[in-house]
Amino acid sequence: MIRATGWLLLATLAMAGTVLGQDLAGDQDPLSLPPLPAVKFDPCPPLRSLGYTEKSPAEISLNIGIQAESLPPDCSTSLFATQVANPRALRQHWPQVEFNWAATEFYHQPLYFEDIPLERYGQAYHPLVQPWLSGARFFATFPIVPYKMGIDRTHDRIYSLGYYRPGSPAPCVRQRLPFEWDAASLESAVWLALVFALP
């Protein structure tokens, strides 16, 4: 069975090669085809015909300003030669341009331990007090992580829309959690499960 399949495959390849060879070469032998003509390239034109000029060291100056004779002709002088008597009448003929704003696709997953006033706006207390407050906030966030997970699921897309732009003056910001029944029920269910699971 394997030998028959192999012979059949070889015969098919041989017939395909014969047909392709006839299609590509026709009735002529590939070795008897005439050679391709040699391609002749034109020599490079001289630099003077391309606009390059040679200067002596005495003609070279340190002034890199634009010379008036080297500028192209100004073809827009005729367009602005006429003065408009009533500019407001000209605005009526301006086409209306429609601009649609689209939000960016920049997002991140929920940051449950984020300190928005400190990390986004730099609103901090005294340098000796702020590390203690940040540590207390970090450890106080552990018990309410299930509540935060009920508000923002683990794979939700969080966009930076709604925050003040970087560099703009922001008022004193306080980070607050909204109340949601499903988040509260998840928090209570997790704590009840921990109470019954732990000895």
pLDDT digit string, tens, across residues 73-92: 676 666 666 666 666 666 66
Say whether pLDDT at 184 is over 80.
Answer: yes
> Is 0.85 topped by the overall pTM?
no
Mean pLDDT of 136-141: 93
Tokens at 127, concatenated:
């340098």
- pLDDT > 70: what percent of the chain? 60
